[in-house]
Structure 1
Amino acid sequence: MKCTIQSQKKQATLVVKRLVLYQNCKLIHAQGRSGQDYYLIFHKNRYINTIKVTELKIDSFISKAIEQGLIVSAPHHAIYSLINQQVFSCLPLDKMVHHAENHPKQLEQVIILSYFDQYIAKEKIINLFIETFRNHRRNGKLQQAYQVLTILEDYAPENQFARDILTSLTFQGYQSDNQEYFAFNPLQSDILEKTYLKNKRHLEISILSTVNLLNEYSDDQWQLFHHTLSDYPIDIQAKTLFQLLKQKPSLIEQKTFAKALLKYANVKQFLSIVLKPEYPHSIDPTIFIEQLEQASQDEHLAIFNKKQKPFIDRITSFPIEDKEKATRLIIESAIQITPIDEVLKWLDAFEDTFSFYNQLLTIKKLVENPDQQEKLAEFYQRFNHRDGAIECLKWEAELYPTKESVHKKLIKLLKETNQNEEADAYQEQWIQQTKYST
């Protein structure tokens, strides 16, 4: 996944690494071409600014978010939701600070500034919290004043001002109405889930359920996660699921996960998954054969050369006719570049004897007989080996230049394989041959 940032009319494309959710902040960690770290900072789902970081301060908000927050790796549909088709402007931080210092102090505004304490002095942010608290207290808004103090204490636990006021008689009996904000240290997933569901915050639910699934699979968390995934483009759904599998391979043991994964997998991914020895689920023979039919020759050859046993194990429970269909598809690709003896030897590992086996034995005999190339071409065609059939017919045409059946078959095959110029050449050759022979 990539995103684009812009600074002073210059744009740069970054590779997204991960997304961090902490309190009301979302951080997208991305890297430039030279490995430089950038953090795109969002408040809730609203983009605020981007900062470039050489080395994170240990006590910075970003460090705290990475340590205590919920993290999902790219690609992920939540990341896609935040960055899709956008260019993110990088704004000077001094303008943000100037605006905050010269406008009425709002808690949300100060919280946003605290995200940037990698570069803004922490003491300055603490003073803005205190000013905001005093404004609310002067206006008689004690609940809001209390809220500011609790957030300041969480932000700067060492701050004596916050501790002293919170323990005073003035605020005895007050309670914070923002449970979500304080549910990250220690992490209280149940509170976060309840809050996110109540407020229909699908992006946060997608992040939380992802983290929970990676920690421990449950049907409830899968349902939450899958519900948030279903509205995204198919390629994003597939990339997200494969990223989860990469992070936690044991997820493939869950039938619901495996079913969803295979639904969005391409042919190569599908075969890679179901032919792994650890894949524990049964496969519909029809679906498996459809995937093999769409597979490339290289994918068939990979099975022939490297995955014979997993292939045999996968089709063991298939009806004999489906076993034969699946195996023949592999043989049709293998016979085009593999000596017939090796093809026959490969089939020896199967318990079943397939109906096409005798045809392969015939091919073995014909290969050794240069006088039977037309017949060999016929058998090659039965296994879709057109190139082999063409070579046989060319050989036969050289030996028997007046043999009409050979020329007709050769010309037809050349046209079917879009070798029209060569087909025309043989057609002309045949016309000239018959003209002079008569």
Structure 2
Amino acid sequence: MSSDPFYIYGNSQKPIQVRAERIALYLGAGIIEAWNKKHEVYYVFFYKHDFLTAAKAKKLRRHSFIESAFKQGMVFDAPHPFINVLLSTNHPCRITRLDPLLKKLDKRYTPQEKAFILTFFESFISKKRLFHEIKSIFYVYRRNGQNLMAYQIVQILMDFAPNHDLVRQLRSDLNFKAYADMYQSQSDQILAKDLIFAEKRFYSKKENDHFFQQLMTLLNEQSRWIDMIGLYVGKLIKTPSEKYYDPLIKLLDKHLNEQQTMQILENLCRQSPHYIPLKQDLLKKYIKLNKLENVLNMVDPSDFNLDASQTEPIREMLEQLDLETRTLTSEQLQSLFKIVIDFHPKKAADLIHSYISTLLKTNDPVFVRELLKPFIEHRAVRPVYSKVDRLITFSDDLDQMQVLGELYYEFSQPEQAIECFSWEMELKPDDPTPLKWLSKVYHEMGMKQESKAYKQLLTNLQKRA
């Protein structure tokens, strides 16, 4: 499924139309990969859900932050609610040059956050220039005697340019030894003071439930619900459990609309198809959003525990269903029959008869009979199955044209009924029955002249009798 197009605004007056392909969530960054019609790729950057800038990619540097984001981060293919939410709340998306971007970062973020964010862009901006900007932040802290904050910047430089001479020198600088030891031991004090470092540590060990919960606490304190949803989804794919599922549902209900929640649950269900609470909630969403085809695609809705508030909308959908406007597969049609039998037993016979009448307009009776065959033992299906079977049996039997015509009439196929009654009239010219039917059918079709003509023939026949 293709995502909706959106626009990136560059230096030229004409906006660039692109389509999102995927999004990566990684250590606070959200990065949307999008392509234009010329097959050029653009990346749209966010930090903690807020838009930063967009950039056109020529080549991504190896071991860069953006490469790590799409390899080690949480990646979701478009279309996806995360993409829609970020784009809709951060419009318009503009390509910003470095100097205006630096001013923007100075206004919105701490110097440490600014240094970290700058590492996102080494595939788009000179690494030398980025290093200079981060180094400048370090020197400001060191001149002010803020050694812990200075060492926080060193930590960022160690990830960004570990082999740079200055970074090697600072790593072994005795002035920072106490802080280096604290980072090495990953003390609680450091984790409380350096949240960027803490998030890296918790994320790298998120498979461990203790660190996962610490990561979730940190994200919750920063109101980063998109990242939290992504992490819960990842956990559920590997370990389906109410421990992760219940808080996920609460987040979805709080932050996303019904359609967006349905998309998240659908994506999750494709990867964790046997987790029953998930399937139950997804089915309820389909019912609430009147998604009949999706309901039919569920393995067997009657296996789920549905209360009256869910079963009543199903019955309404079944009564309002018009098969002429929908294209359903054989499997979906058989699911439809099953649902009618299970959820609407009082009207099952009438509804199935109505569905079959519609199907016979465009399908061979043999095909329709095969659809019904698995349900032949059900009281609601047996009569209509028998009639379809007789349609097939009598189709070439000239002695049964009257019966065949009445069956076609019952299944709302007047043209075929007329053809059968016409044959019957020729085969039995003294029988008034086919004339009565021909007059009746033409009248109901609005063909008054033809109806009167057969009525007159019937009158004449009765006078001669």
Per the shorter chain, which TM-score range?
0.7 to 0.9
1:129 and 2:127 equivalent? no
Alignment equivalent of 2:274, drawn from 246, 249, 253: 253
Cα drift, residue 195 of structure 1: 0.8
Query: TM-score w.r.t. structure 2 length?
Result: 0.72
Greater RCO, 1 or 2 (C-alpha within 8 Å, sep 6+) = 1
Query: Which secondary structure state, in structure 2, belongs to the residue aligned with residue 10 of structure 1?
Result: coil
SS in 2 for 1:18: strand
Q: Which runs of 5+ in 1 are unaligned?
A: 415-422
Indicate whether 1:215 and 2:224 are aligned: no
Alignment of 1:40-59 (within 5 A): 40-59=44-63
Report the Cα offset of residue 21 of structure 1.
Answer: 1.7
Counterpart selection for 1:34 from 23, 34, 38: 38
Query: Counterpart of 1:52 in 2: which secondary structure?
Result: strand
Cα distance in 1 for partners of 2:399, 2:142 equals 105
For 1:131 and 1:345, the matched residues in 2 are separated by 77
Moved more, 148-157 or 53-62: 148-157
| Counterpart among 139, 146, 157 of residue 144 in structure 2 | 139
Partners of 1:99 and 1:289 in 2: how far apart? 55
Pair 1:393–1:227, CA change in 2 (3 A)? farther
CA contact (8 A) 2:365 2:388 kept: yes
Identity across matched positions, percent: 21
Aligned counterpart in structure 1 of residue 330 of structure 2, from 281, 303, 307? 303
Counterpart in 2 of 1:25?
A: 29
Matched with 1:153 is: 158
Q: Which moved more, 1:31-40 or 1:382-391?
A: 382-391
After superposition, what is the alpha-carbon deviation per residue over 1:33-86, rounded to whole angstroms, capped at 9, x for unaligned?
A: 233221101122221111111321103221122233222222322222101273
Please list the CA deviations of residues 289-348 of structure 1 after superposition, one character each: whole Å capped at 9, or x if unmatched. Answer: 7666636359787327x986x889989989987886786566444433455456556655
For the 8 Å contact 1:23–1:182, the answer to whether it is kept is no
Q: Partners in 1 of 2:278 and 2:49 — Cα distance?
A: 28
CA, structure 1 residues 94+321, in 2 after alignment: closer, same or farther (shift >3 Å)?
same
CA contact (8 A) 2:443 2:451 kept: no
Distance (whole Å) between structure 2 residues aligned to residue 387 and residue 14 of structure 1: 52
More helix by share: 2
1:135 and 1:379, CA in 2 relative to 1: closer, same or farther beyond 3 A? same
Amino acid at match of 1:60: S
Distance 2:299 2:174 in 1: 66
Report the residue type matching 1:12 in the other structure: I
Q: Secondary structure at the match of 2:377?
A: coil
Counterpart of 2:119 in structure 1 is 114
2:42–2:54 CA contact under 8 A, matched in 1: yes
| Alignment partner of 1:6 is 2:9 | yes
Relative to the length of structure 1, the TM-score reads 0.76
Output one character per residue of 1:236-271: Cα deviation in whole Å (capped at 9) or x when no partner. 33333333344x1xx221111112222344222322
Q: Return the alpha-carbon distance in structure 2 between the equivalents of residues 177 and 71 of structure 1.
A: 26
Structure 2: unaligned runs, 5 residues or longer: 183-189, 461-465
* Alignment-derived partner of residue 361 in structure 2: 336
Root mean square deviation of aligned Cα: 4.3
Secondary structure of the 1:30 match is strand
Partner of 1:407: 439
Matched to 1:271, the amino acid is L
CA distance in 2, matches of 1:244, 1:297: 32
- Show the counterpart of 1:224: 247
Q: Please say if residues 393 and 410 of structure 1, whose CA atoms lie closer than 8 Å, have aligned partners that are also in contact.
A: no
Amino acid at match of 1:37: V
Q: 1:111 to 1:280 in 2, by over 3 A?
A: farther
Separation in structure 2 between the aligned mates of residue 374 and residue 68 of structure 1, nearest angstrom: 72
The amino acid across from 2:123 in the alignment is: Q
Pairing 1:355–2:380 present: no
- Structure 2 equivalent of residue 417 of structure 1: none
**Change in CA separation of 1:372 and 1:30 when aligned onto 2, cut-off 3 Å:** same
| Bigger mean CA deviation after superposition, 259-268 or 329-338 | 329-338
Tell me the residue number matched to 2:186: none
Alpha-carbon distance in structure 2 between the residues aligned to 1:143 and 1:347: 75
Amino acid at match of 1:75: P
**Residue 87 of structure 2 corresponds to which residue in structure 1?**
83
Secondary structure at the counterpart of residue 39 of structure 2: coil
24-33 vs 164-173, which moves further: 164-173
1:17 aligns to what SS in structure 2? strand
Report the 3-state secondary structure (helix = DSSP H, G, I; strand = E; otherwise coil) of the residue aligned with 2:329.
helix
Q: Is the 8 A contact 2:44 2:54 kept in 1?
A: yes
Residue 272 of structure 1 corresponds to which residue in structure 2? 297
**How many correspondences in the alignment?**
417
**Counterpart Cα distance in 1 of 2:385 and 2:154:** 82
* Alignment partners' CA distance in 1, 2:263 and 2:136: 47
Q: Please show how residues 160-171 of structure 1 align to structure 2 within 5 Å.
A: 160-165=165-170, 167-171=172-176
Identify which of 245, 265, 270 aligns with 1:241: 265
Amino acid at match of 1:220: K
